[in-house]
Structure 1
């Protein structure tokens, strides 16, 4: 009888552990702020990113290019002969390979890569393009690989009945570097990403994320 009770309790414990299986974070940290090499770009990033807040003291803020239009599907920044447009669209899961963790409870990879936004579940929206135009004519190519793993972009939020945005485009004091900054503020798996352009060329991105439950 005692063995039967022990076995039942063991089964219950295993079941409870299975139900409470945590969501693993497979997203690598190689592109985080802490990994970015010291220099002018890191100093610039520290002035506005959450990841660089510990290094912000004593640094002058960068010039911001204003957001001139934003809604649920896109955001546009214009100023200083620069125009930046970030656009989104529906995510079609049937066109992608989905990899789940723990008996299909949590989605952790899309097309064999960890992803950002709606982490753990199937995303509903994705970034479709990041367009940069300088001097009203020249387009700076932002490769799809720079945003293919980013989902659920948050272009707006409401504060006291006013629609605002956390996102920004910032320019270095010498005008040589441009930073396109976007924040996803969902409660689970939030992330912030900055696309970096130098001398009108895309040179990389910095992305930080965290799971908050």
Structure 2
């Protein structure tokens, strides 16, 4: 046993290491560190885990309260703003899946975010933003490759809580829609609305690695 056990352990370690060796095609063009607009970057740093190094001395942004949520949606609302995110079920049969060593690395020819390496289960189906009487168009390209959104979690006492939020800039120009999924090493999805128009998205992954 003194000889066999170390050999078995070594084999297990090697097998696990080989199992994790697959290419990561995810790019970082939408990461927080790539945001060059100073006012937007300063606001993002107040709530993003990816921006925690720049959050010192920054005051929290005003947040919009959660109005309602369920297994497949979450809505935030105040007197002037309503934001709703809806999810859907991922159907592999409707997509072209690229595998490496049994790991999913691309969907429809593109890298994706969420549970990278595994087959997605849930999608972001739509994001609806209504400011006053105006509806802000959010293109599907802002979320088509973002999977496994999470609306709530159970704390140790069994109470449902959320880490997500909708935040308002101090000058009133910008709205930040934020989702945090602490599974799969941590993923942050943020959409920026400025002057009632969709500006950009910010996507960070492995923030809890």
Contiguous gaps of at least 5 residues in structure 2: 1-10
Of residues 189, 195, 201 in structure 1, which corresponds to 2:197? 201
Alignment of 1:68 onto 2:67: yes
Of residues 156, 175, 186 in structure 1, which corresponds to 2:172? 175
Superposed counterparts of 1:1-213, under 5 Å: 16=15, 19-102=18-101, 105-135=102-132, 137-159=133-155, 160-186=157-183, 188-210=184-206
Give me the CA root mean square deviation.
2.0
Q: Distance in 2 between matches of 1:115 and 1:73?
A: 20
Q: CA deviation at 1:111?
A: 0.9
Deviations 1:55-114 (CA, angstroms, capped at 9, x unpaired): 011112110001111222110000141000000011111111111112xx1001111111
Q: Distance in 1 between matches of 2:28 and 2:179?
A: 18
TM-score in terms of structure 1 length: 0.86
1:94 and 1:47, CA in 2 relative to 1: closer, same or farther beyond 3 A? same
Q: CA deviation at 1:119?
A: 1.5
Higher deviation after alignment, 162-171 or 114-123: 114-123
Bigger Rg, structure 1 or 2: 1
TM-score in terms of structure 2 length: 0.88
Q: CA deviation at 1:174?
A: 1.1
Q: CA deviation at 1:164?
A: 1.1
Equivalent residues of 1:82, 1:134 under 8 A apart: yes
Partner SS for 2:56: coil
Q: Distance in 2 between matches of 1:177 and 1:84?
A: 14
1:17 and 1:82, CA in 2 relative to 1: closer, same or farther beyond 3 A? closer
Contiguous gaps of at least 5 residues in structure 1: 1-11
Equivalent residues of 1:116, 1:189 under 8 A apart: no
